[in-house]
């Protein structure tokens, strides 16, 4: 009782302190009257004056969509119609209609329709807390009174959808915290797509690098193969000369043996009458003659 009486008396004291200019329409002293140093009756002239809502204030939920001027996903829904918000909603005021691809019939990760009955919503914020995609947030707009409760208070997807920049405006601190937890300002799907694009680019870069290395290796081998004869070392020249000398020596020896083992005219006339040893000798002699002719041709070519 004493506290109420004290506040009542301080109302007049505060008016006297302000010189009865507290509610002067031509003076902007709203922050002073509503500050921590103000005394007396704490009232605002609503709806002409409105108190600033704290970030944690929550009213009915709204759906986050990409900014309409987003370069890659303008107006894209952050909601994937997973249905978790509808399941955790205590008064069950959320309805979601999932969409399917008209050609394949497979589900598409975005809602075809989304409804929230704001008369049933108890503003608990469970839907926003449990949403794994940060796609649903609690709005600060509390001026939703209407005489038509059957239609105006059933918010559809068009009424619920608001740009992501709106959330950053009404709750900048929470938006930063969520972006840090999410790994960036973009939606998780956009981040995954960016990573897949980056991986593909990296893969293409690696493939190009591998092809370049292979081309360099082939060019190096061709350069070595096409190197001029003058570039051969002195050791190679010596080896060639030594090999040629050995071939000439072998040719002379084979020529001598051929002369010694030349078949007689009688033997040449009747080779089918020779024994197996003689046939072998004749075969060896023929091979030596063949080698001698080859060596001679090699000498002539030099």
- Model confidence band, residue 60 (pLDDT cutoffs 50, 70, 90): very high
Q: Same domain, yes or no, for 120 and 43? A: no
133 assigned to some structural domain: yes
**Contacts (Cβ under 8 Å, ≥6 apart) of 205:** none
Q: Do residues 174 and 140 lie in contact, with contact meaning Cβ atoms separated by under 8 Å?
A: no
User: Cα(19)–Cα(182) distance, rounded to whole angstroms?
Assistant: 53
In this structure, the strands spanning 161-163 and 61-65 are parallel
217 lies in some domain? no
Structural domain of residue 39, as residue ranges? 1-51
- pLDDT tens digits, 105-140: 888 889 999 999 999 999 999 999 999 999 999 999
- Domain count across the chain: 2
Identify the weakest region by mean pLDDT among 26-40, 195-209, 277-291: 195-209
Model-wide pTM > 0.75: no
> Do 46 and 142 fall into the same domain?
no
Q: Report yes or no on 280 lying in a domain.
A: no
Tell me the average pLDDT across 27-45. 69
């Amino acid at each position: 009782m004493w506290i109420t009486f004290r506040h009542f008396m301080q109302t007049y004291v505060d008016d006297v302190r302000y010189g009865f200019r507290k509610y002067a329409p031509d003076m902007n002293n709203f922050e002073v009257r509503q500050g921590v140093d103000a005394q007396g009756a704490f009232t605002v002239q609503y709806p002409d004056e409105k108190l600033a809502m704290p970030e944690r204030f929550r009213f009915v939920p709204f759906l986050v969509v990409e900014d309409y001027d987003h370069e890659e996903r303008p107006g894209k829904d952050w909601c994937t119609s997973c249905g978790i918000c509808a399941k955790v909603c205590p008064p069950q005021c959320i309805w979601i209609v999932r969409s399917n691809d008209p050609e394949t019939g497979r589900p598409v990760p975005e809602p075809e329709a989304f409804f929230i009955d704001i008369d049933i919503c108890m503003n608990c914020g469970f839907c926003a807390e449990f949403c794994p995609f940060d796609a649903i947030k609690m709005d600060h707009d509390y001026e939703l009174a209407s005489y038509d409760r059957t239609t105006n208070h059933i918010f559809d997807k068009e009424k619920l959808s608001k740009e992501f920049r709106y959330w950053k405006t009404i709750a900048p601190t929470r938006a930063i915290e969520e972006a840090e937890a999410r790994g960036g300002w973009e939606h998780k799907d956009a981040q995954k797509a960016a990573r897949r694009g980056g991986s593909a680019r990296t893969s293409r870069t690696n493939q190009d690098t591998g092809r370049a290395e292979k081309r360099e290796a082939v060019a190096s081998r061709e350069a070595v193969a096409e190197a001029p004869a003058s570039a051969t070392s002195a050791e190679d020249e010596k080896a060639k000369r030594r090999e040629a000398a050995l071939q000439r020596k072998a040719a002379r020896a084979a020529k001598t043996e051929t002369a010694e083992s030349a078949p007689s005219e009688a033997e040449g006339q009747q080779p089918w009458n020779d024994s197996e040893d003689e046939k072998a000798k004749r075969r060896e002699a023929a091979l030596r003659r063949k080698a001698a002719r080859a060596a001679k041709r090699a000498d002539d070519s030099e």
